[in-house]
Amino acid sequence: MAGATFLSTVQAPALLGARGVAASSSASSPARRHAHIQVCSKGNAEGFEAAGHEERLRFRRRDFFGGCVGTAIGLEMIEGSTKFTGVANAADLIERRQRSEFQSSIKDTLYTAIKAKPELVPSLLTLALNDAITYDKATKTGGANGSIRLEISRPENSGLSAALDLLTEAKKEIDSNSKGGPISFADLIQFAAQSALKRSFLDAAIAKCGGNEEKGRTLYSAYGSNGQWGLFDRTFGRTDAQEADPEGRVPDWSKASVQEMKDKFVAVGLGPRQLAVMSAFLGPDQAATEERLIADPDCRPWVEKYQRSRETVSRTDYEKINYEAYTYPKQKIDLGKLKL
């Protein structure tokens, strides 16, 4: 593919469906004012095994590129068994505004931090995946609960320390500006993955426009659907686990066979389609990961589908945009002809 490559992650949510990134299955309604979401521990794993599952995972190609939300699909579905209950009272308008302002502050801080160290984008994605994929359907434990900060020395998390350090520093700034209490690592890690995906898509759009940042942002705005990101906001309010999740729940993606990857995704309610969609989360070299996945008969059709979609959109639709349309050159004034 000529030019920059757009991530092949889905945004059907952020990842998926309509719920947003998975939250800790053991989380309860946080005490801080910003977190006005209650997370119930009651699972509904059966829902992901129902016949209608595939329908809920369908998405439009525009959505596919819009937010690159991989973090949406898998991360939310990984804990799709966890039911989210939002508290929506008429008197909550002030709290909602406070939460919105806090979230904007978080995103601004993360945007700046990630822009300064774009090389950490792949690690931020893997950090979010590894934190969420500890979810265990049988016991309803694990999930996106921030426990990875206590598991960073494990083999499967090798190379992710720099990403965690980046978020630790960002957290200090975020907390210092917060009027309603500190942000949890559980929330911060998932927000960082969201920001990393957005940053990647924006950088790719700018590259497609020959490095012109203004045109790149126009392209990003025109083809990037931001609606799905609201799902992250609705699940805002995860609490941090105080103990590490059990070992053995997260594969070492760099060494795991494709079959082992599929088995892990199936264990949390996903399948080959979502595995292919989340290839950017499985290591720093997405192309190499897709090369491995495409050798598997179950993953091959999905990998090829997303690769074709990336190629078609990036080479045709995006490049058909005429950025000079409806503009005109400014008329030069000949000062010599002015009558004084």
Q: What is the pLDDT of residue 234?
A: 52
Question: Quick one: tokens of 98?
Answer: 């406070």
Please, which residues bridge with residue 38 across strands? 85
Greater confidence (315 vs 39) lies with: 315
**What is the Cα 271 distance to its own chain's centre?**
18
Q: What's the confidence (pLDDT) of residue 327?
A: 43
CA dist 320 and 49 (Å) reads 41
Question: Residue 235 carries which side chain, given as an amino acid letter?
Answer: T
Using 50, 70 and 90 to split pLDDT, how confident is the model at 180? confident
Bigger pLDDT: 52 vs 233: 233
CA 236 to chain centroid, in Å, comes to 14
Phi/psi class of residue 182: alpha, beta or left (left: φ > 0; alpha: ψ in -120 to 50)? beta
Compute the average pLDDT of residues 123-151.
92
- Give the amino acid at 335: L
In the numeric block, the tokens 């950490």 are attached to: 120
Residue type, 193: A
Does domain 37-250 fall into CATH 1.10.520.10? yes
Of the pLDDT bands very low, low, confident and very high (cuts 50, 70, 90), residue 97 is confident
H, E, C per residue of 2-24: CCCCCCCCCCCCCCCCCCCCCCC
Query: Is it the case that residue 256 has pLDDT exceeding 70?
Result: yes
d(CA 240, CA 148): 10
The set of residues, in sequence order, having a beta carbon less than 8 Å from that of 152 and lying 6+ positions away, is 160, 161, 164
- For tokens 């199936």, the residue is 266
User: Of 335, 279, 337, 268, nearest to 305 (Cα)?
Assistant: 279
CA–CA distance, 25 with 38 (Å, rounded to integer): 11
Q: What is the pLDDT of residues 56-79, one digit of tens each?
A: 333 333 333 333 444 454 555 554
CA distance 309 to 304: 8
Instruction: Give me the percent of the chain exceeding a pLDDT of 70.
Output: 60
pLDDT of residue 137: 83
DSSP-assigned letters across all residues of 251-265: --TTT--HHHHHHHH
Residue 212 pLDDT class (50, 70, 90 cuts): confident
For the cut 80, the answer to whether the pLDDT of residue 337 exceeds it is: no
Residue 36 φ/ψ, nearest 5 degrees: -110, 45
Which residues share a beta bridge with 82?
Answer: 43
Q: Which residues contact 130 (CB under 8 A, 6 or more apart)?
A: 148, 151, 156, 157, 160, 250
Region 38-51 average pLDDT: 36
Q: Is the pTM of this model over 0.85?
A: no
C-alpha–C-alpha distance, residues 20 and 183, integer Å: 18
Mean pLDDT of the chain: 71
What pLDDT is recorded for position 222?
66
Q: Does residue 168 have a pLDDT over 80? A: yes
List the alpha helices (DSSP H) in the chain.
53-56, 61-66, 70-78, 93-116, 121-132, 161-177, 185-208, 213-223, 230-234, 258-267, 272-277, 286-293, 300-312
Q: Where are the domains of the chain?
A: 37-250
Q: CA nearest 293: which of 267, 266, 260?
A: 260
Q: Residue 338: what pLDDT?
A: 63
232 CB-contact burial (10 Å; exposed 0-12 / middle 13-18 / buried 19+) = buried
Query: At CA 225, angle to CA 222 and CA 228, rounded to 5?
Result: 170
pLDDT given for residue 145 in this prediction? 92
Tens of pLDDT, residue by residue over 307-317, are 887 655 544 44
